[in-house]
Every structure is written in structure tokens, then in C-alpha cells.
Amino acid sequence: WDVRMSAALPEDEIFYLVALLRFIRPGGPSVDSMLAQNQEILHWCISENYDFKLYIPHYTAEEQWMSHFGKYWATFKNKKAMFDPKAILAPGQFIFSRKRFPTLLANTKIRE
């Protein structure tokens, strides 16, 4: 982990990348069944206590982002407040909303 970056990596020194690059073909499984299978895989990884990170995750709760960044969550949140205080960058990831702008800066020291 480089403290200047916001990449989230598993805690172990050795980790593996597993990519599921899926596509829909005529007569094949439906989108819904493939998404359900993806969820099943994720739930299995959680139940087995695997430390994993999703590439471009679609989390809906701050707790999920906190888990994703682990012990670096506070650092990530502070850098977000420092460099993007109005939460205008990367709105599609739903990490911080513009509505939460006042709470984003709460308890955050910003260099003047």
C-alpha cells in the first residue's frame, strides 16, 4: 500500500487476481441468472472469510466501502475531504454523496 494512493489490496503479501469476464449469448444463461451466480460466489467468499476486493464495486452502503478499504478507510476519507470537499469527483461510485458534504468534512483536518 502506498499511502499516496487509494488502491485497496488484500492484507496478505501474496494475493491472486481472479477475473470473471462474462458475456450473454443467444440461448445462453440470462443476465439475471449470471448476476445471481456472481452474488453466490461473493457470498461464498464472505462465508469462507476470504479477504477479497471487487474491481469497480457497486456498494450501496458506507459500511461496505469501509470494509473495502479496511484500515485505510480513515485515510481515504480524509484525502477525499481534502482534495474533493464538494464530492464532485467519481459520483457514480456512490462512496460519498454531495448531500453528505457537511458530514464529509466533520472531524477532518484540512491543511490551510
Residues 6+ apart with CB under 8 A from 85: 101, 104, 105, 110
pLDDT score of 14: 76
Residues 6+ apart with CB under 8 A from 96: 80, 84, 87, 104
pLDDT score of 43: 92
> Which residue's entry shows cell 480524509?
78
The domain spans of the chain are: 57-112
pLDDT score of 72: 86
Mean residue pLDDT of the chain comes to: 79
Report d(CA 110, CA 112) in Å as an integer.
6
% of the chain with per-residue pLDDT over 70: 81
Q: Which of 57-66, 68-77, 95-104 has the lowest mean pLDDT?
A: 95-104
